[in-house]
A and B are shown apart, each in its own frame.
Chain A
Amino acid sequence: MATMRPKTTGSVEKRLIGLADLVVQAAERGKDPTIDIPVRALSNVKFNESRGIIEMGGNRQARSFFNVGMAKKFMQTMLVADALSELQRAGLTTSLREIYYRAKHTIQDSHENTFDGQNESDPLIEDLEVTLAALREELHVRAENAGTVIGPLVVVDDGDRVDCAKLGKGGYSVPSIVEPEYLRIKSCTADFILLIEKGTQWNRLAEDKFWRKYNCILLTGNGQPPRGVRRLARRLHEEMRLPVYVLVDNDPWGYYIYSVVKQGSINLAFESQRMAIPKAKFMGLSSTDPEKYGLPRNVGIKLNEKDIDRAKEILNYQWFQKKEWQKEIRHMLSVGLKYELDALANKDFQFLTNKYLPRKLKDRDWLD
């Protein structure tokens, strides 16, 4: 656990204690203790077109104790709240898994465990985030450091100055909490940010010093970018006014990664306003790229049923209704193939660095 600056009873802790008060008050009135939790689902998100982000709707679901289906979840929610408030008091941060272990025990006089797996406690933390309108960072829960950054950027992390241009080809591991209190952006001379889905391509570009030639910041989140990466990109975008370009595989999942970066995720829609980068651009791979760049058909992969279903879902998302996007997705479906970024290596190992990206940047060939 990392130590954090000790705080006085913060507002987050107060909100956690509020849950206990809720139970006590309900019990005194002979009522069923009930927590109203905003619904985290597609049905409860709205796409705010003027802001270009996904916002959470007002739907709430009641989690009450005296309901057979919810009793255990209610109890677990209280246990998680208890563990979170403990973190607040001690001024520590921890991981989702440690919270699971902290709250796990066998219920007195029974064989039953409070939690049978981490998959039971993780959603409850998200529930509390949305219910208490507290960010995960504010709850002192961090994710693994799953992102890397390299480029002309200097930050101060825990008092240490980190020059991301002088970290070889390994780069700087983006911490999960990058709020200004913890990470200060000292200087940044880059012209744009390139957010890459996969570590392989990030490594290729870092090795080829692409960032130096084109004066950019290379970011990767190894798949769906974690909060730290998204938040850092957002801060650089906002504070340094850098445009953000996203480079992902050409498949439905790639499209969705791009949309999460741009408009925010459905699951944590309430965080969009702090995470989303509505002006982010989709650099590739586009379903039209294979033709443009002469990728042979045989490096494509046939779309499976899951891919097709997901693509059709995405087609219906409000934030994919732009003409170009409908065209892009339908084109992929009509070809029936998906392409990985790695497939570019079929032409040449450095095809990405020397041909693909330069041409894209030169032609300003991206989707919005």
Chain B
Amino acid sequence: MKPKAQPKPAAKLKPSQPAKPAAAVPDGKDQAAPVKRPPAPRASGLTAVEMGARQREISVSEFFTKNRHLLGFDNPRKALLTCVKEAVDNALDACEEAGILPEVVVKVSVVPTGGTTPPLSQATRFKVTVVDYGPGIVREQIPRIFAKLLYGSKFHRLRMSRGQQGIGISAAGMYGQLTTGKPVQIISRTSEKTQAHYFEVQVNTKTNEPRILEKKQIDWENHRGTQVTIELEGRYQKGRASVDEYIELTAIANPHVKLHYHAPDGDVKVYSRIYDELPAPPREIKPHPYGIEFGIMLKMLHDTKSHWLSGFLAGDFSRVSPRVAEEICAKAELSLKMRPRDIVGHDAEKLYKAIQATKIMAPPTNCISPIGEKAILAGLYKQIKGDFYTAVTRSPAVYRGNPFIIEAGIAFGKGPQQAAPEVQKKPLAEGERHGDHEDELARVIRYANRVPLLYQQAACATYQAAVETAWRNYGVSQSKGAPPAGPMVVFIHMASVWVPFTSESKEAIADYDEIRKEIKLALQECGRRLGVFLKRKERAKSEFHRRNIFELYISEVADACKRLKGGKLAAEKLKTQLCKIAMSRTGGQKTDEILGHQGGPEGLPDSIIVTAEGVEGDVPVLAEEPAAPAPTSPEAPSPQTARPAVEPPQAAAPQLELPLPAPRRPSGSTRAAGKKGRPPAKKARPSMKAAKRRR
């Protein structure tokens, strides 16, 4: 029995009890009704028996069919995004867990309705296909993973992953089924030696059980991996909170992922891999006693395999040593050797209070795998044009007993190419001024466990922290109650075993004080570095400006002198002489250096500075191209890709020769082997540690 940190209803949905799915959310509502409501005094009143006849269980699928907005399917545009998001999250989770560098193909296309293909802006029916080259799924599990709500591997453990609940992909399938009547199509293959399985499944919403419409073995060009196809009603529109933005943001926070995106308008975008290391695999942990709620503790007491209370405390919680267990028992005035099952009522309350009153170490943090400063830098640098990048990974912290890590980053500036879009020059008349720069606000990009959050920005703790941070201290303008102004992207990531979302559709992070404080600290560190950069740039700029104005005025002065002398003056010579003086008086070469490439981000850890001349800092070299040199695999990475195969799925061939792990097995050995197999394999672990180094 695995420990649980979440409310009880979940337990009823364990895979071992497929036949009796309980209504997870409305649990209790129905039972309560007859007790509370007296027999109706009205004329049309019903008897308790009659009412009882109408009362029945609600399946979770039924519940979410009616409440699909809870899962992010409230409007067609959002539904399309949610569908892509759930499928991609699942694919990435699976690959990472199996120790495979993820490569994912996302294809969104318009489905003709009524025999004609409507223009993209009018299209209402889409087909979303997501292919990964991950571990694949064993045949027996396919139907349940894709057509049963609240089924999965992620809920019952305390470990960081994108998915948390086991609702996502099946809900997307259910939404598709609801709006188009089409089943979810799955192809999955676990190794080259086995056949690929093809399934068409639907959710039986009454029972929350999968209904298999078609299953067969097929030939599949991919050696390994999973392909999901969902047809659904949706709407495609670019811009904010679009599928395109989701893909772009995913690429930023997941630089170890290679993404192919086939947009419905025919565009194919490839987000190449810029970071050649998998994030360190997070470990599962036991719940921390501080985070536990009373009811959950009762349930754990009941379910434990330990015979003694001391064993239960030390064995089922993290950071409780036998000595701490003794301390707790002493405080609770309970015997160490009590049977956990016998602790009920008053004793349980005493125990709970004793736990909260005992000093216990913070939970372990190897259950969280932050993106890492280097990887964030790489991601920002690759996807966002700017002059300055920095990233901060905070030390782990705890809210409600759940460990979490906050990471933040900033990309500032417009990039050297776009820095000075020369506006058409025209002389200014008296009283006219140069147009001030448009006051654009910074864009805040938010992530939870590497998944971009696109909706409900204002309700999110990350955004609030960004607004509350005093950016003016760092030389960035900011009006009250607004994010900082300027050409700037603020990156905020929360990694945790359990991210407290404000709703099931996972759009905003709930505002816990501990979380917000950590975010602000991370942003402040980023801000300080940005301030240093801006100040340094300002200093060099003012030197440069000085020389610049001298140069500007030199020809005016020289020409005036020439006219004064009645034309009898070598004005050019005078200009040269004056320029020379200007140079010697304003720092000469040094200014060039400060402004230019030599400046380097010294004193600015984990930062990159980009100028017209070049880039300083630890720039992520696009390791990818040399990393996969020869297309060893004859196939193109994805069947859909029409374009010439740029490269095979990451090192597919060498890896395929190795025994592949079952999808959910701990993957350490495979990873090591896989790494060895890749040609220019970098030393993955040490540098990953380096990326995690704390200050």
Find chain B residues with CB under 8 A from A361 CB: none
Out of A27, A78, A86, name the residue touching B556 (CB < 8 Å): A78
Find chain A residues with CB under 8 A from B685 CB: none
Chain-A contact segment, one of B466-474, B484-492, B546-554: B546-554
- Contact B430 A107, beta carbon cutoff 8 Å: no
Out of A24, A71, A89, A116, name the residue touching B549 (CB < 8 Å): A71
Instruction: Kindly state the separation between the CA atoms of A113 and B432 in the bound complex, as whole angstroms.
Output: 11
Q: Is B458 an interface residue (CB 8 A)?
A: no
Interface of B is mostly: helix
Given contacts A27-B574, A66-B582, A82-B563, contact A112 B552 (CB under 8 A): yes
- Contact B580 A30, beta carbon cutoff 8 Å: yes
- Contact A107 B428, beta carbon cutoff 8 Å: no
Out of B434, B563, B581, name the residue touching A30 (CB < 8 Å): B581
Instruction: Kindly state the separation between the CA atoms of A78 and B584 in the bound complex, as whole angstroms.
Output: 23
Find chain B residues with CB under 8 A from A111 CB: 425, 427-428, 434
- Contact A20 B428, beta carbon cutoff 8 Å: no
Q: Is A32 an interface residue (CB 8 A)?
A: yes
Q: Is B565 an interface residue (CB 8 A)?
A: yes
Q: Is B555 an interface residue (CB 8 A)?
A: yes
Q: Is A74 an interface residue (CB 8 A)?
A: yes
Instruction: Kindly state the separation between the CA atoms of A110 and B582 in the bound complex, as whole angstroms.
Output: 18
Out of A17, A27, A75, A82, name the residue touching B577 (CB < 8 Å): A27
Interface size on B, residues (CB 8 A): 30
Q: Is B561 an interface residue (CB 8 A)?
A: yes
Closest-by-CB residue of B relative to A113 is B428
- Contact A75 B553, beta carbon cutoff 8 Å: yes
* CB 8 Å contact bits of A74-99 with B (1 = contact, 0 = none): 11001101100110010000000000
Q: Is B662 an interface residue (CB 8 A)?
A: no
Find chain A residues with CB under 8 A from B569 CB: 20, 24
- Contact B556 A107, beta carbon cutoff 8 Å: yes
Q: Is B534 an interface residue (CB 8 A)?
A: no
Q: Is B53 an interface residue (CB 8 A)?
A: no
Instruction: Kindly state the separation between the CA atoms of A21 and B564 in the bound complex, as whole angstroms.
Output: 9
Instruction: Kindly state the separation between the CA atoms of A74 and B582 in the bound complex, as whole angstroms.
Output: 14
Find chain B residues with CB under 8 A from A66 CB: 550, 581-582, 585
- Contact A32 B585, beta carbon cutoff 8 Å: yes
Out of A21, A31, A74, A113, name the residue touching B557 (CB < 8 Å): A74
Q: Return B554 CB to nearest CB of chain A, in Å.
A: 8
Q: Is A172 an interface residue (CB 8 A)?
A: no
Instruction: Kindly state the separation between the CA atoms of A72 and B557 in the bound complex, as whole angstroms.
Output: 10
- Which A residues, 33 to 89, have Cβ-Cβ distances below 8 Å to chain B? 33, 65-66, 68, 71-72, 74-75, 78-79, 81-82, 85-86, 89
Q: Is A185 an interface residue (CB 8 A)?
A: no
Q: Is A117 an interface residue (CB 8 A)?
A: yes
Q: Return A19 CB to nearest CB of chain B, in Å.
A: 7
- Which B residues, 569 to 591, have Cβ-Cβ distances below 8 Å to chain A? 569, 574, 577-578, 580-582, 584-585
Given contacts A30-B577, A71-B549, A81-B564, contact A117 B556 (CB under 8 A): no
Out of B428, B557, B564, name the residue touching A106 (CB < 8 Å): B428
Q: Is A16 an interface residue (CB 8 A)?
A: yes
* CB 8 Å contact bits of A344-359 with B (1 = contact, 0 = none): 0000000000000000
- Contact A27 B430, beta carbon cutoff 8 Å: no
Find chain B residues with CB under 8 A from A32 CB: 581, 585
Instruction: Kindly state the separation between the CA atoms of A66 and B583 in the bound complex, as whole angstroms.
Output: 10
Find chain B residues with CB under 8 A from A75 CB: 553, 556-557, 560
Closest-by-CB residue of A relative to B555 is A108
- Which A residues, 112 to 139, have Cβ-Cβ distances below 8 Å to chain B? 112-114, 116-117
Known: A20-B565, A106-B428, A117-B430. 19 other contacts (CB 8 A): A19-B561, A19-B564, A27-B574, A30-B580, A32-B585, A66-B550, A71-B553, A72-B549, A74-B557, A75-B556, A75-B557, A78-B557, A78-B560, A79-B556, A107-B556, A110-B552, A111-B425, A111-B428, A116-B428
The 9 closest A-B pairs by CB, nearest first: A20-B564, A27-B577, A20-B561, A78-B560, A75-B553, A106-B427, A82-B560, A66-B585, A82-B563
A-B CB contact pairs (8 Å), 13 listed: A19-B561, A20-B565, A23-B574, A24-B561, A30-B577, A30-B581, A68-B546, A85-B563, A106-B427, A106-B428, A108-B555, A110-B425, A112-B552
Q: Which residues of B contact A (CB under 8 A)?
A: 425, 427-428, 430, 434, 546, 549-550, 552-553, 555-558, 560-566, 569, 574, 577-578, 580-582, 584-585
